[in-house]
Amino acid sequence: METITSFLVPVVSVIASFLIGLFTNRIGAKREANKQIYSYFYAPVMKEVIQLLPSKPYIDSLMVRTPVKSYRRVSDLIASNIHLASPVMIESYRKFELSLIILEGHYDSADRRERIELNTTFNQLITSTLEEANILARKLKYPETPKEILKTYFQRTDL
């Protein structure tokens, strides 16, 4: 009996160490992947949003007409990192991109309804991006900058 116990204790220890190491590596890899998604996808989008948007009421009233090239910068930024986006983000991006393509050739002569549609799809894209960024920021224990951007630029208080 003592021989079996002396044999089992090291084997169980080795197996337990292996499983703990495997679990720790998975957690570390997931955290590192989340850091990269935040740094290479969400952070650049937040920077563009801050530089681009004066505030949602101005955009909605079209007192500020965002140039198509500014929309295109955000679109290109998201497109270059689309592999990091969630399915919800991809759907929002697809709708925005379609509106942008429709207006790209004639934004200055586009009617108010078309510009409002573009602004609406842009706002939906940015809102979904910032909501997801905020969830990730919480997981990573980062400051909730996306939440503050939503509050400031989109008057969101439900976060």
Residue 129: CB atoms within 10 Å: 26
pTM, two decimal places: 0.71
More confident residue, 146 or 23: 146
More confident residue, 8 or 146: 146
pLDDT in tens, 87-141: 988 999 999 988 888 777 665 566 777 777 888 888 888 888 999 999 999 999 9
Assign 54 to helix, strand or coil: coil
pLDDT of amino acid 63:
45
Q: Which helix (H) or strand (E) holds 139?
A: helix 112-140
More confident residue, 20 or 38: 38
pLDDT of amino acid 134:
94
86 pLDDT band, cuts 50/70/90, is confident
